[in-house]
Chains A and B, each alone.
Chain A
């Protein structure tokens, strides 16, 4: 017997779909294990790129995609601007974030590219304050293994990493220093700094 869809059940299907769209899904809770699996995926993607044997420019494009997908770039960009973020216009902030995304993914992509022949292994995850610290170890040929740590948060609405440390060297602080120096050289002119950053990347 053909399964005839009655008007009532049809309507209930529709409303269930509508309900699903309106009512938020159970809040996706940030946990050590969810953050760890995010970094697992991120590291698998990085390992895949460094194993691919592609040209430098092709790899850097891949790293830019990886950064876009896994990093909370607007938060990182805002932090890098520091106090200057407060006096930047919305348009300046938007443009800066865009240029910064390319700059930072190329800069860190170049570093990750030096991991060719090596591997990153995810070790552990734990909660610190409101975010999760995920520790990984980079094993490079002919070198003592070293520590790469990611900090993951869901405050942007999605689980993303917002900081990374290579042997204790903090990406957020390094970039705030760099962007601050660029602004100083341009007498605090945000537009000129954005133009410089565009050239640097």
Chain B
């Protein structure tokens, strides 16, 4: 009889893990809390650093999982994984229990809620938007202010909810810098002639072709980079946004008027993941993400045998890393099920 593996979460990590497990001949069920699979990828119009369409990656997943023997259970929240007599029991919010030989947790991340940085005025000033809101504008093909006008001056604030002790997140979310660079270029593309300014603490361009895109943003698109963390945002009498920052390289405070301000929201452990961790007894780190058994050679293993992690539920990851991490989780599952005597 085929071994049954349950995957929790239908974003890129979960879909990848489920798809690879099916290929390896397992009976796989995928639980997704939303109506459809895809996760955050559904919201993203284009991806960094090559600016390919997000839908291309979704198409890859369509080929990977559709038409296969995969059971997808949508609109279902998993709350707990229990152990009983050598197998695992996955309980949904409705109290229905499913038995599995192994479980892959792929609950991903939540975007930082920018309202928590009140001084930036999100949901107070209409033209302060988040990176996700801007992506939605790109999807619609219309970058416009709340007054329906074309923005002439747009700012990007890096590190919103990341590297910030005041919101309890000491870690770097890693993807926001490159997302800002990508979106800055796209603003220039959508609205030629717009001036774009990125306010950063450090430009963390660690991925493949990130630094090249940063250079392209300066060289070909004329995006301006100002080193300083924005301290506060206010509104002028004619409804324009006023940003206060220190231009640390010039060594003087700087004030700027903008038509639109984009907050680069960081990544946090998902609420669903937090609940799952506490009810199941899974270890989490100081950063609140799931804490793998070993950060070097056991990044897919949890503290409970038979439960594995895939993707951004363990730390901020881009899609490439997520896919690699999910495949590695599958390798661990295969290893585990081969050794177990069930």
- A complexed with B: no
Which residues of B does A touch, CB under 8 Å?
none
Which residues of A does B touch, CB under 8 Å?
none
